[in-house]
Chain A
Amino acid sequence: MMMDYVWLIPLFPFVGFLINGLLGKNLPKNVVGTIGSVAVGLSFLVTVCIFAQVLKLPPEARHVEKVVFTWIASGPLQVQAAFLIDPLSLIMLLIVSGVSTLIHIYSVSYMHDDDGFYRFFTYLNLFVAMMLILVSANNFLLMFVGWEGVGLCSYLLIGYYYEKQSASDAGKKAFVVNRIGDFGFLLGMFLIFWTFGSLNFKEVFALASKYPVGSGVITVITLFLFIGATGKSAQIPLYTWLPDAMEGPTPVSALIHAATMVTAGVYMVARCSALYSLAPISLTVVAIIGALTAIFAATIGMAQFDIKRVLAYSTVSQLGYMFLACGVGAYISGIFHLMTHAFFKALLFLGSGSVMHGLSGELDMRKMGGLKKEMPITYWTFLLATLAIAGIFPFAGFFSKDEILFHSLVDGKAIYWGIATAAAFITAFYMFRAVFMTFHGESRVDHHVAHHVHESPPLMTVPLMILAGLSVVGGFVGMPLIEGAHVFRNFLSPAITPVAHHAAAHPTAAFEIFMMVFSMAVAGLGIYTAYKMYILFPDLPTAICDKFRTIYDLVYHKYYVDEIYDTVVVEPIKEGSNILWNVVDAKGVDGVVNGSAGIIAYLSAHLRKLETGFVQNYAFAILLGVVVITGYLIGR
């Protein structure tokens, strides 16, 4: 049985990490790149084999746990290093290992001139190993190992160009902000163990199902876990690290900060659907945060000129959609969007990387334009991804986004739908703004860069094309309307515990079709607006900005959230730390420590005088001991 070898999946990248980390410095770059890519590719192969095997099983038998060894056995705390194979983890494994493989191959070419080449692949392989552990663990603690592991790798890779101050700052910011979320996750985990006495998913969910809907303890647990998710998946209020994370190399942004790691929070919520479905309050919180993040980040995305930042805010916004879906109980739609998003967002980032590659590292869209001719493959793939994210039929994003909009109206509230639709409009607008500014119109490229603008080599364009293919057809697994044709839902539903609805009104097919046409129309309007502003009347944006200067400034400066956090949170903590350091530590703690060290040194210096070197003195000491001991024993 291939399933018995599930541990191979994270092992391959881990071995790649060890080889590249220990020996990579002395290996030629091609070898390092090959080791890294092959390691991840092998994981993908194993995953595919296991997937094929699981498909043969009847749906109710698709839950297999493989214990590798007992990791912790301490009283009631029994934790195993074990893997869980079920539809949800398989989907995640396929996405992670598949997209990682493509991005590794892309990176071989993209990073080729970098001195830290082996370091890059070492970190990247470690990241993949940790991410695979995260999505395949069968208990919260092992999941947390992956959770922290990917956090570490994210930190290392954001700060990859550590000689740049902004990059190392961004790395630290990501790490610290994530710690806040992790603290929530930890508290949630403690509370789970305290309540259920176990950390194993299956056991916890089975025990939880005996609790009533709306139970207090489960609400608190799920809220704590969701704090963890907001950190890792960059939701309000902990989203600020993700735009800064674009300081890392572009493949990293594509892999970690778009396709995989940032979706860990969505995965976790879906994994714990059995808990969330019992906590309506938590679900409402998830939905509200998701919807707010979706619109909030989208508006910021409108006013950015750095192409990677536009994509970063778009990622935050799309993650908001996924949480909105989970919040209204449509976990499967959330995971569906997670998958299609992984395809097209990875493609968008890799495309922007390809543009950077061609423009000697230029990121500012104001200095691009007209690249369609020089970089045709990049252009066409980028355009397909943009159509997908905008939600145009029949691209992948259309199916998943439409499902979320539909469920937010049917299962949620009209206001969710309103916000999400508005965000969809803005998304279409700013994504096409990016396409038009980058690839269309007059070239605004610096003239000393302009003469060596070129299309990227095949090692980069082939992954682009594969991802473009997936962005086009990836949505077909979730075909709406036709009964039983939603393959994705049929496959995933055994792993998901749905919310118990009172009386699920089944809307008619006509209503569904109307919804689709409507959301298409909204997206089309967004595209048209962008076309009008950036192709037909290029002077219009400046005029509008001047007219609404205050609002524009507010958006352009990202609503000053970073500045607010700085004054309200960061500075007071710094001040407090200074007091702790200068007064409590330097004077108090150090004083006590140094004082006692001084006493010991003094004693030591004098006690060694006992050591005279004369045998007579030593014998006298023995005699003294004899007298005292016998005196005590007999005298008592």
Chain B
Amino acid sequence: MLIHWLDILPLLILSAGGLAIFGAGAFLPRRPSWVLFGLASLTALGAGLAALLMAPGSAAFLGMVDLGSYSRFFTILLMSITLLSLFFLHRYAQVRNFAGDELFALMIYAALGMVLVAAAVHWLIFFLGLELLSLSLYVLIASRRRETTALEAGVKYFILGAVASAFLTFGIALLYAATGTLEIKASLAGVSQAVPMPLYFLALSLIFVGIGFKISLVPFHLWTPDVYEGAPAPVTAFLSTGSKVALFAALLRLALNLGEPAWEMAWPVLWVLAVLTMALGNITAVYQTKVKRLLAYSSVAQMGYLLMALVAVKQGSLPALLFYLTVYALMDLGAFGILGSLSEPQADLDELEDFQGLGFSHPWRSAVFACCLLSLAGLPPTAGFLGKIFLFWALIKADCLILAVIGITTVVFSIYYYFKVLTSLYLRPRRREFLITPPDLAVGLASGAIFLLVFLLGIHPGPLWSVIEQISIFLSR
């Protein structure tokens, strides 16, 4: 059998890039961080370009990895996220002295795991990708190993992640027992008389819990604020966007492949969890005084919006979901990335009071931060506004009016806490001197790109939308 290795070129580039960074770390004296950073960036860029420019010859690689437009879209998106995260991370890690080869290599391996998760059509690859991603993230979160908060966050995420993995693995095993196949599509599609239903549903719910933990759905979200707060801010940016986008891509694939009778049983669960996630995420965020925790709850709520639209995925909400995932990645990455860039070497700025007057002392980065917050809140003319419009519009068209009304109500609540941050930035007097490190070119590029894209997608979404529509049409065939 002929194996088309070139079809999985992005994966190969990522694997080789990770090894190259480790190699550079091992053989170069003093391990200059700019070389490691450069290698990592080139790897991510190369993988993204490979996915963008090279059309694979077949639909799937050995029945394991999907090579279609859906996977290519997510590969490109995930590589962009990785690249932007690296741009934010480099300066941050350099100043705080943890810019080693393991940091950059693990970023690349985490990215590889994400791509595998998003592209897997086989439970084995899915599980492998997820574990690769999780293990890399555990270390990345704790990469400032002299900081107790970072260690605590790493350990918490590790323990709970292990619990979730256990559920997930068990779920996959049960699914195999019930259906006799590890191919995702086959295992989910047909439920014949021979399949024992309780076993099948137990398997599904356990798998769902595993994924729900990773994308912080209520009630599996409790780790989120602790981990986001403890991890270095650029890593949080990576974690809250990359891993969520990848896992949501997988969840979308599962939902689309789920057969009719099982979907009829499953969507009420999604409905309830969406309401819980939106409501709890937004309401709990209101009382937070720390910006990182506030943003953590905000990202929980954002996942709630996506889950809400997932309920209508069989009635054509797929393009809206893909659009919002992209926009979410952009604005959350911007928010956490700037948060990292606007930090002082000793500790990240965190209390709301610390941000007072920042809008005038550091106008450029504050402007990007503010635009990401406005977009998260969903105000025009940002991408977040249009993304939410698409989500709710798709939902209303699918006759899920009640869910849409609940969702819009929680969005209204959320505006309050985003403006709490904005008022601190711009309307309150400055409380103290800042020792914020000046940005380097990479941070400037990344934040400039995010700033432009947030407005561009909010005003002129046409090009991205048409790409997404093509993917959706292709997928629903």
Residue ranges of A at the interface with B (Cβ–Cβ < 8 Å): 597, 600-601, 603-605, 607-608, 610-611, 613, 615, 617-619, 621-622, 624-626, 629-630, 632-634, 636
Q: From residue B295, how far is it (CB to closest CB) to chain A in Å?
A: 15
B160 contact from A603, A619, A636, Cβ within 8 A: A619
With a cutoff of 8 Å between Cβ atoms, the chain A residues found around residue B284 in the complex are 604, 607-608, 610-611
A617 to B223 CA separation, bound complex (whole angstroms): 10
Q: Which of A610, A625, A632 has the most CB of B within 10 A?
A: A625
**Contact of A634 (CB < 8 Å), options: B202, B266, B280:** B202
Given contacts A626-B209, A629-B208, contact A607 B283 (CB under 8 A): yes
Question: CB-CB contacts of B150-185 with A at 8 A, as 1s and 0s?
Answer: 000001100110011001000000000000000000
Using CB atoms, name the residue of chain B closest to A621: B219
User: Is B205 located at the chain interface by the 8 A CB criterion?
Assistant: yes
User: Which residues of chain B come closer than 8 Å to A608, judged between CB atoms?
Assistant: 284, 287-288
- Taken together as a complex, chains A and B put the C-alpha atoms of A629 and B209 apart, in Å, by 9
Q: Is B209 within 8 A of A625, CB to CB?
A: yes
Interface centre among B205, B208, B285 (most CB of A within 10 A): B205
Indicate which residue in B155, B220, B265, B286 contacts A625 across the interface (CB closer than 8 Å).
B220
Given contacts A601-B286, A604-B287, A630-B201, A618 and B269 within 8 Å (CB-CB): no
**Cross-chain pairs A/B with CB under 8 angstroms, 16 sampled:** A597-B416, A600-B413, A601-B287, A604-B284, A607-B283, A607-B284, A608-B284, A622-B160, A622-B164, A622-B213, A622-B220, A624-B219, A629-B205, A632-B268, A633-B202, A633-B205
Q: Tell me how far the C-beta of B233 lies from the nearest C-beta in chain A, rounded to whole angstroms.
A: 20
Is there contact, CB below 8 Å, between A634 and B201?
yes
CA distance A611 to B294 in the complex (A): 13
* Closest partner residue, chain B, to A612 (CB atom): B222
A600-B413, A619-B159, A626-B167 given as contacts; is B205 within 8 A of A611 (CB)?
A: no
Known: A622-B213, A626-B205, A632-B269. A600 touches B283 (CB 8 A): yes
Picked from B205, B219, B283, the residue with its CB within 8 Å of the CB of A604 is B283
CB pair B219–A633 under 8 Å, yes or no, is no
* A-B Cβ contacts below 8 A, count: 80
Identify the closest chain A residue to B164 (Cβ).
Answer: A622
Contact B163 A619 (CB under 8 A): yes
Knowing A604-B284, A610-B222, A613-B226, say if A629 contacts B269 (CB, 8 Å).
yes
Q: Which residues of A contact B226 (CB under 8 A)?
A: 611, 613
Q: Is the CB of A630 within 8 A of B202?
A: yes
CA of A600 to CA of B280, assembled, Å: 10
The 8 closest A-B pairs by CB, nearest first: A604-B287, A633-B201, A604-B286, A618-B222, A630-B205, A629-B205, A625-B219, A621-B219
Within 8 A of A (CB), among B257-271: 265-266, 268-269
The distance in angstroms between the C-alpha atoms of A471 and B155, with both chains bound, is 89
Residues of B contacting A624 with CB < 8 Å?
A: 219
Compute how far the CA of A604 lies from the CA of B206 in the bound complex, rounded to whole angstroms: 30
The distance in angstroms between the C-alpha atoms of A610 and B209, with both chains bound, is 19
Q: Is the CB of B287 within 8 A of A605?
A: yes
Q: In the complex, what distance in Å separates the CA atom of A621 from the CA atom of B226?
A: 15
- 5 more A-B residue pairs beyond the given contacts A622-B219, A629-B208, with a C-beta to C-beta distance below 8 A: A619-B163, A622-B220, A625-B220, A626-B209, A633-B201
Interface residue? B212 (CB, 8 A): yes
Q: Which residue from B160, B204, B280 sits with its C-beta under 8 Å from A607?
A: B280
The docked-state distance in angstroms from the alpha carbon of A629 to that of B211 is: 14
- Which residues of the partner chain A approach B212 to less than 8 Å between Cβ atoms? 625
Q: How far is the CA of A613 from the CA of B293 in the complex (A)?
A: 13
Contact residues in B for A621 (Cβ distance below 8 Å): 219-220, 222
For the complex, is B225 an interface residue (Cβ under 8 Å from A)? yes
Q: Which residue of chain B has the shortest Cβ distance to A630 in the bound complex?
A: B205
B156: chain A residues within 8 A (beta carbon): 615, 618
Residue of B nearest to A618 (CB): B222
Chain A at the B interface: SS class: helix
A608 to chain B, nearest CB (A): 5
Distance A621 CA – B164 CA, assembled complex (angstroms):
12
B29 within 8 A of A: no
State whether A633 and B160 are in contact (beta carbons under 8 Å apart), knowing that A608-B288, A617-B222, A626-B206 are contacts in the complex.
Answer: no
Q: Residue of A at shortest CB range from B410?
A: A600
Q: Does B198 reach chain A (CB closer than 8 Å)?
A: yes
Q: Residues of A contacting B209 with CB < 8 Å?
A: 622, 625-626, 629
A174–B283 Cα distance when bound, in Å, is 46
CA distance A626 to B167 in the complex (A): 9
Q: How far is the CB of B333 from chain A (nearest CB, A)?
A: 24
Whole-angstrom distance between the Cβ of A592 and the nearest chain B Cβ: 13
Which residues of the other chain, B, contact A607 by a CB distance below 8 angstroms? 280, 283-284
Q: A residues within 8 A CB of B205?
A: 626, 629-630, 633
A611 to B212, CA, bound (A): 18
A636 lies within 8 A of B265 (CB): yes
In the docked arrangement, what's the CA distance between A617 and B416, Å?
Answer: 29
Contact present for A618 and B160 (CB under 8 Å): yes
B4-17: CB near A (< 8 Å → 1, else 0) gives: 00000000000000
A611 and B202 in contact, given A618-B160, A622-B213 (Cβ under 8 angstroms): no
Bound Cα distance from A601 to B416, whole angstroms: 11
Name the residue on B nearest A622 (C-beta): B220
Nearest A residue to B417, CB-CB:
A604
**Are B167 and A603 interface neighbours, CB within 8 A?**
no
B109-147 interface (Cβ within 8 A of A): none
A312 CB to closest chain B CB, in angstroms? 41
Q: Whose C-beta in chain B lies nearest to the C-beta of A599?
A: B283
Note all chain A residues with C-beta closer than 8 A to B204.
633
CB nearest neighbor in B for A626: B209
**A613 and B209 alpha carbons, distance in the complex (Å):** 21
Q: How far is the CA of A363 from the CA of B220 in the complex (A)?
A: 77
A430 and B31 alpha carbons, distance in the complex (Å): 92
A634: chain B residues within 8 A (beta carbon): 198, 201-202
Instruction: Point out the residue from B198, B202, B283 that lies within 8 Å of A603, measured CB to CB.
Output: B283
Give the docked Cα–Cα distance between A618 and B159 (Å): 10
Q: How far is the CB of B254 from chain A (nearest CB, A)?
A: 15
Q: How far is the CA of A597 from the CA of B212 in the complex (A)?
A: 30
- Tell me the smallest distance from the CB of B75 to a CB of chain A, in Å: 30
User: Which residues of B in the span 212-242 have a Cβ within 8 Å of any Cβ on A?
Assistant: 212-213, 219-220, 222-223, 225-226
Instruction: Give CA–CA (A252, B265) in the complex, Å.
Output: 71
